[in-house]
Amino acid sequence: MLVQSIYACKTQSDIELLVIAQPNPSIFFKVFLELGFKSMVSYLAFDSRSIKALLSEENSKYFNSKFPVFYKNEDQSTAIDISLEMNQIRSVNLMIDYICKFQNSYVYSHLFENNLVDLINKGVKMTDLFNSNVFNHTFDYDEWPATNADTRKIIVPYNKSIFKLRYEYP
């Protein structure tokens, strides 16, 4: 019924009013089989006012770090990609702020795998993201020495999967 109501809206202002009128915004954060394993956030990503209403501080009691709002859909796109495609920079900034606050873990770094250059080129505010735990993670593995005694070796970047790193260390 909600999807039909959104589809029947004639303007983006009507969609925003419909989003604001919901007593519990968690309906927009849930994943539905009928929507192709997507949440409503992916479908509303084109409208910055709706995203602003959904991610507002008033709705923070409905946010839960165990259940992410932003993730890769079945087609490997994200709500960030959709907003970026529509040049909704304000929406992208709100989404990144949300991710830095509620999904602040390296496991969500894949959300920026294919769009990082576009985000920078379009002037999206990236400072908080680069300083967050999404791109910064301290590895602590007991079998690794704290320092390397062989000073002839050079530190080089590791570009493979983070989950295979422990097996790549000589």
Q: What is the chain's mean pLDDT, rounded?
A: 80
Model confidence over 1-18: pLDDT tens digits? 566 666 677 777 777 777
Q: Which of 8, 83, 100 is nearest to 47 (CA)?
A: 83
User: pTM for the full model?
Assistant: 0.73
CA distance 23 to 100: 26
Which residues constitute the domain of residue 18?
Answer: 2-168
128 or 26, greater pLDDT? 128
How many domains would you assign to the chain?
A: 1
Which pLDDT band, with edges at 50, 70 and 90, does 99 fall under? very high
